[in-house]
Amino acid sequence: MSLKKITSLTMLLSMFLMTYTGIMLFISPPGRVAKWSNWEILGLGKEEYAQVHSTFMVLFIIATILHVYYNWKPMISYMKNKAKVVIIFTKEMAVAFVITLLFLVGTLYEISPFSTFINFGEDIKNSWEQKYEKAPYSHAELSTLEEFSSKLGFDLNRSMEILKANNIEADEMDTLKEIAKNNNISAQKVFSLLSEKQKSTISKAESLTGLGRKNISELSNDLGITANELIEKLKTVGIEAKSDDKFKSLCEEVGRTPREVIEELGF
């Protein structure tokens, strides 16, 4: 067997798997939505895709180092001029450097078309949140059934009865994540069953999730008001905003957290 051939083929297979998992992570919902809805594609959730992507990244790096080792002479020849003298900054290297720098700067400074591509990914991620029922509050799946019922104003005994009637095994000290995993359902499904029979008393401010990712227009939809109305309200607490501004960034500029500003607005 040829180790050189094995190295090249390993690089190729790793590249295919990293490309696939990279695409899945690019279109996957935000973590809070993925965990709440038990999001999966082809039997793998977001965490599994991230784990596979990370391990194959290591394999790809190792294979790349070996590939460079086995192909050192041809690579050096790429950096030689007509006189066969090694010059690091050849025309080809300069072009490769410019392309790499262009992608780096374009991404960091959100220059089109890189910003368009990034926003496209954000739109896909946010579309999952519209498809699935939102969690009543951030990281709700980590709350025990007792804590969850208390926070939403549900009767704990009634919650236990509802789950039992739907053949869902649960203990009051189990988290929603544990209940969902043990019964092969999502935390979202548990919430849906409980909320069908009981009315939640959680406030609008507490129910808001994903504040770090949303712009003013998206946040206004969650609050049930127009973007212009929210912009006017923000002015009263000293924040000047536009509809496409990120809410978290605006809050950081005035030294407050998104949750603090929401509560200050009276939601």
Span of 60-64, 133-137, 194-198 with lowest mean pLDDT: 133-137
- Letter for the amino acid at 85? V
Would you state the structure tokens that stand for residue 225, as one six-digit string?
Answer: 């008001």
102: confidence class by pLDDT, cuts 50, 70, 90 = very high
Task: Quote the pLDDT of residue 119.
Answer: 85
Does this model's pTM top 0.85? My answer is no
202: left (phi over 0), alpha (psi -120 to 50) or beta: beta
What percent of the chain has a predicted confidence (pLDDT) above 90?
48
R_g of the chain, CA atoms, integer Å:
25
pLDDT tens digits, 13-27: 999 999 999 999 999
List, in sequence order, every residue forming a beta bridge with 175; answer none if it has no partner: 144
Please compute the mean of the pLDDT values over residues 113-132 and round it to a whole number.
84
Distance of alpha carbon 261 from alpha carbon 267, whole angstroms: 9
SS3 track for the chain: CCHHHHHHHHHHHHHHHHHHHHHHHHHCCCHHHHHHHCCCECCECHHHHHHHHHHHHHHHHHHHHHHHHHCHHHHHHCCECCCCCECCCCHHHHHHHHHHHHHHHHHHCCCCCHHHHHHHHHHHHHHHHHHCCCCCCCCHHHCEHHHHHHHHCCCHHHHHHHHHHCCCCCCCCCEHHHHHHHCCCCHHHHHHHHHHHCCCCCCHHHHCCCCCCCEHHHHHHHHCCCHHHHHHHHHCCCCCCCCCCEHHHHHHHCCCCHHHHHHHCCC
88: confidence class by pLDDT, cuts 50, 70, 90 = confident
Highest-scoring range by mean pLDDT, 159-173, 218-232, 247-261: 159-173
pLDDT higher at 260 or 42: 42
258: confidence class by pLDDT, cuts 50, 70, 90 = confident
Please compute the mean of the pLDDT values over residues 211-217 and round it to a whole number.
79
Q: Is the model's pLDDT at 126 over the cut of 90?
A: no
267: confidence class by pLDDT, cuts 50, 70, 90 = confident
Please compute the mean of the pLDDT values over residues 252-259 and round it to a whole number.
85
Q: Is the model's pLDDT at 132 over the cut of 70?
A: yes
205: confidence class by pLDDT, cuts 50, 70, 90 = low
Please compute the mean of the pLDDT values over residues 53-70 and round it to a whole number.
95
Q: In the predicted model, what is the mean pLDDT of the chain?
A: 88
pLDDT tens digits, 165-186: 999 999 999 999 999 999 999 9
Alpha carbon dihedral 253, 256, 260, 264, in 10-degree steps, equals -70
Task: Quote the pLDDT of residue 1.
Answer: 82
List, in sequence order, every residue forming a beta bridge with 86; answer none if it has no partner: 80
Task: Quote the pLDDT of residue 225.
Answer: 86
Find where tokens 């227009």 sit.
Answer: 217
